[in-house]
Amino acid sequence: MHTSSTDSSSINLAPIPSISALEWSSVSHIAIQDCGERLVPMSLAPSPIKVFPAYARLGIPGAIPECFVREGVYRALLAAARSLPQGISLLVLDGWRPWRVQQYLFDTLYEAILYHHPNATEDELLTRTSEFVSFPSRDPSAPSPHLTGGAVDVTLCDSDGLPLDMGTLFDEAIPASHTAHFELLGELSPPQQQARDNRRLLYHVMQQQGFTNLPSEWWHFDLGDQLWAHYGGHNQACYGPAELETIENRWRRHIS
């Protein structure tokens, strides 16, 4: 799934389209024909990509101190980063995610929503939770996107490595984190205009390399997984559930 880089002068900074809320049931029915690409660590990437494994730095149980993605995603991220204007870099926050981490994030957000809305029904709680964290699934036919290595969380940073203002923080589970949030407001303050423009830049450089965006999260992009197939209009996904290559598994396969 290699894609070529794009000259920064051709970046489209048009308004981000507003897309209706996702129906996960329509995504889980998309066929998967895994292409067999390996998971590779983003720390191998040269400038202008920076890597900050956010969940490991936050001490989340089971999180790994690296951001792994499928090889096609790795190359597409490099192409996106190289298309950015001078002085701006792509900052990778998360990629492949162990199932344990997915379960922890889902449960933690679920409990937080329940705390603030104690009278909410189970369906309401699940709907609100899955707006920002997909249901933990290792089902080969319907895996959580981050378990495939095709989903990646990214933002932009300046030449000093500091994240640009995107209007909300990464993983801030509020309506303002919806990618097109600032496109739907009236008159914007100067900081809001800057956040809107930063989102537009991120959205379009990623889109130009074949990624699709999850509309409820400005930071979440997909390539090759079922979400990508759904939003990109593809007949099937090419990334199913993935596991890290371990020395134990390698020895078991090759020692006779």
pLDDT at 3: 39
pLDDT at 4: 38
Give the predicted TM-score (pTM) of the model. Answer: 0.91
Known binding residues for Zn(2+) are: 146, 153, 220
Of residues 221, 4, 238, 240, the one with CA closest to residue 91: 221
Calpha distance 217→199 (Å, rounded):
11
Query: Mean pLDDT across the chain, nearest whole number?
Result: 92
pLDDT at 183: 96
Residues 175-180 have a mean pLDDT of 96
Share of the chain above pLDDT 90, in %: 82
Q: Catalytic pick from 217, 243, 245, 248?
A: 217
217 in catalytic set: yes
pLDDT at 5: 38
Residue 250, pLDDT > 90, answer: no
Pick the range with the lowest mean pLDDT from 40-44, 85-89, 146-150, 243-247: 243-247
pLDDT at 1: 55
Q: What is the CATH number of domain 8-99+143-254?
A: 3.30.1380.10
Known binding residues are: 146, 153, 220
Pick the range with the lowest mean pLDDT from 63-77, 128-142, 229-243: 128-142
